[in-house]
Amino acid sequence: MPGDMMDSAAPTLTSDRSRFNVPTRLRAFVRRSEFALIGVAVLIGGLAGAFVALIRWTVDLLHHLLFGTSLYSGSLSGLAKLDSPLLALVPALGGLFLGVTGLAIRKWRPRRPIDPIEANALQGGRMSLIDSILITAQTVVSSGVGGSVGLEAGFTQIGSGFASVIGAALKLRRSDMRTLVGCGAAGAIGAAFGAPLTGAFYAFELIVGTYTPFGLAPIVTASISGVLVVRALGIKETFISHLAPIAGITQSDLAALFMLALFCSSVGIGIMRAVTFVEFLFKRSRLPVFLQPAIGGLVLGGLALLTPKVLSSGHGALFALFDSADGGLLGLSIIVLLKSIASAVSIGSGFRGGLFFASLFLGAMIGKAFAMMLPLLAPAIVPDASVYATVGMSALAVAIIGGPLTMSFLALETTGDLQVVIMVLIASTIVSVIVRQTFGYSFATWRMHLRGESIRSAQDISWMRALTVARMMKTDVSTVMSDQTIAEFMEEFPLGSTQWVVAVDSAGRYAGLMSVTDAHLSVSNGEDPQVPIEKLLRYQEDVLLPSMNIKDAAEVFERSESEALAVLGDRLHRRVVGMLTEAHVLRRYTEELEKARRELTGEKWLGEA
């Protein structure tokens, strides 16, 4: 897609934030005081809420201008049909615009932008403001021309992007930067749904990667701030008013809802793989990249002629679903299929956006269809369709987006029904475990996996990548020739002098490790002291490379069961450049974990200026 087309190089963050000049005293005050950091979080949450309002107004305006919906009161996906068949060409023209502008953006900024999850996992919360603005603008255009994508990705990108810039201007610590990025996302999601707890736990589970007592106050206040700002700007959040089922859950419903959770797990994985499959088809087609969104738009326009419910994020269609008692089983099933295809084609062809609201929409329809089908299979069960729709909505969102607590709090804040929330939590937990064990990724981390990244959450692993073998190894390594006799080796290295010695061949290539203890014991056990030590060498193929990080090194040590390993410049020339012990690796790993623990618990604030 236009933004994701910038994959050719690793992300290098620009110095957008260097333009901000913050007084030294203010920077010191925020770094020193937790109350000051909370104040900054309130500001960030308010900004995120204002951006949410602006984005919504802009998208509504585009829908009004391009499709003729009622300004700021209509919904594109809520239309019964398009006013004219020619309107089906709007997504294609919009896709062409995205493709051409994406081509220009790649030439201007060739390095791939990063989202808040990747920023917090690998960059210590540092993001480019320019890239965030561009991504948000592409998301607005994608949804505005009818692309079947959600706006939540744009909301969190712009909120977190500004939070990162503010944190960098204040020269905050790494952990504080990550917290502020979470504040930007919390304010955006809280404002988008009018649900502060949902926004806060979205940040904890998806953006920060873990719940932290220290991060609780700033993230929650940022989310509340975002909600208050959108309300002050006159945006009436209708999501809550439409999701208010009256629970009537029986013992029979428990088994049925369990089956619904299993089905949503499969659908979620299928949708994520469908996006990848569409991308694969476009790559195999060899169409110019800038034309691919236009082709995807043509497919989307064709689907819109069948039903406009496939267009845009789907707010209007979801609300119509909850308000209406009609819509037969076959009709709902067709809409689920068409919306799934539309979302996969939109994102796979190059429209910018996410699957957050699409997963809510699809899950709700699946839940309602499931409730309609249940009496046909078990006539004794009389299900509450609203309960099944709410559970299905949450379950599918967990399968695709992740965040079981986030979706549980969304159900709590939108229904106020504790019974429903308990069922949502149970279903979300089941889905989360199934998807994690069978697939292993959320939609965002799956996309990163396809780009070659190994991260599976926003937990900070950048220290792990920065702590390489080259930084930890000992370079003053004792070496011997592999054809040296055991007697000569024992004379040069008596017991207690050292533990391991690197052996090299006549060409200076690594031959293996020689244990001083093994050499002395071999003679005691009857070995001929004139035999070359080559016979006693160990770990000839178990070696480390300078570029390996601490996690890779630990895995090699575990596999080889060695106490020490040689470090080679490369596997081809096998030149020894150092040695590393397992004890040192474990010590450094423990030190970094302890440092991370202190940051999570807020101990850094104690006695620190």
User: CA gyration radius for the chain?
Assistant: 29
Q: How far apart are CA 344 and CA 272, in angstroms?
A: 8
Is 184 a residue whose pLDDT tops 50? yes
DSSP structural state of residue 471: H
Weakest mean pLDDT among 17-21, 227-231, 342-346: 17-21
Is 351 a residue whose pLDDT tops 80? yes
Is 456 a residue whose pLDDT tops 80? no
Q: How far apart are CA 336 and CA 505, in angstroms?
A: 66
Using 50, 70 and 90 to split pLDDT, how confident is the model at 457? low
Predicted local confidence at residue 6, as pLDDT: 35
* Residue 39, C-beta contacts closer than 8 angstroms, at least 6 positions apart: none
Residue entry with tokens 């290098």: 12
Using 50, 70 and 90 to split pLDDT, how confident is the model at 297? very high
The helix (run of H) or strand (run of E) holding residue 60 is helix 34-67
What is the mean predicted confidence (pLDDT) over 368-377?
Answer: 86
Other CB atoms within 10 A of residue 251 CB: 6
Burial of 494 (0-12, 13-18, 19+ CB in 10 A): exposed
User: What are the structural domain ranges in the chain?
Assistant: 16-237, 251-450, 468-594
Q: Tell me the pLDDT tens digit for each residue of 332-341.
A: 899 999 999 9
Q: Which fold has domain 468-594?
A: CBS-domain (3.10.580)
Q: How far apart are CA 433 and CA 265, in angstroms?
A: 9
CATH classification code of 251-450: 1.10.3080.10
DSSP structural state of residue 566: E
Average pLDDT, the chain: 84
Predicted local confidence at residue 507, as pLDDT: 87
What is the mean predicted confidence (pLDDT) over 583-601?
Answer: 73
Task: Tell me the DSSP string of 190-255.
Answer: HHHHT-HHHHHHHIIIIIISS--HHHHHHHHHHHHHHHHHHHHTT----HHHH--------HHHHH
Which structure tokens are listed for 14?
A: 């620009």
Is 30 a residue whose pLDDT tops 60? yes
Using 50, 70 and 90 to split pLDDT, how confident is the model at 417? confident
Other CB atoms within 10 A of residue 14 CB: 16
DSSP structural state of residue 547: T
Predicted local confidence at residue 325, as pLDDT: 53
Q: How far apart are CA 567 and CA 575, in angstroms?
A: 8
Residue 415, SS3 per DSSP: helix
Using 50, 70 and 90 to split pLDDT, how confident is the model at 238? low
Q: Tell me the pLDDT tens digit for each residue of 114-133.
A: 889 888 877 888 999 999 99
Predicted local confidence at residue 14, as pLDDT: 43
Q: How far apart are CA 240 and CA 245, in angstroms?
A: 11
Pairing state between β 500-504 and 564-568: unpaired
* The domains spanning 16-237 and 251-450 adopt the same CATH topology: yes
Q: Which of 295, 362, 301, 374 is nearest to 334 (CA)?
A: 362
Weakest mean pLDDT among 84-93, 202-211, 248-257, 573-582: 248-257
Is residue 329 a contact partner of residue 369, using CB atoms and an 8 Å limit? yes
Weakest mean pLDDT among 217-221, 269-273, 555-559: 555-559
Predicted local confidence at residue 455, as pLDDT: 66
Predicted local confidence at residue 5, as pLDDT: 35
Is 342 a residue whose pLDDT tops 90? yes
Residue 4, SS3 per DSSP: coil
More confident residue, 594 or 174: 174
Predicted local confidence at residue 105, as pLDDT: 92
Q: Please give the single-letter amino acid code of residue 222.
A: A
What is the mean predicted confidence (pLDDT) over 14-40?
Answer: 71
The strand ranges marked E within 37-196 are none
Residue entry with tokens 């990550």: 178
Is 462 a residue whose pLDDT tops 70? no
Q: Which of 49, 71, 54 is nearest to 199 (CA)?
A: 49
Predicted local confidence at residue 452, as pLDDT: 61
Is residue 129 a contact partner of residue 164, using CB atoms and an 8 Å limit? yes
16-237: which CATH number, 3.40.50.2000, 1.10.760.10, 3.20.20.70, 1.10.3080.10?
1.10.3080.10
Predicted local confidence at residue 529, as pLDDT: 85
Burial of 452 (0-12, 13-18, 19+ CB in 10 A): exposed
More confident residue, 305 or 498: 305
Which structure tokens are listed for 328?
A: 């037969």
Predicted local confidence at residue 63, as pLDDT: 93
φ, ψ dihedrals at 549, nearest 5°? -90, 180
What b/e string do you get for 550-586 counting C-beta neighbours within 10 Å, with b at 16 or more?
bebbbebbeebebebbbbbeeeeebebbbbbbbeebe
Where do runs of H (alpha helix) occur along 286-402? 292-306, 315-323, 329-349, 356-377, 385-400
Weakest mean pLDDT among 18-22, 52-56, 232-236, 471-475: 18-22
Q: How far apart are CA 168 and CA 31, in angstroms?
A: 12
Q: How far apart are CA 105 and CA 100, in angstroms?
A: 9
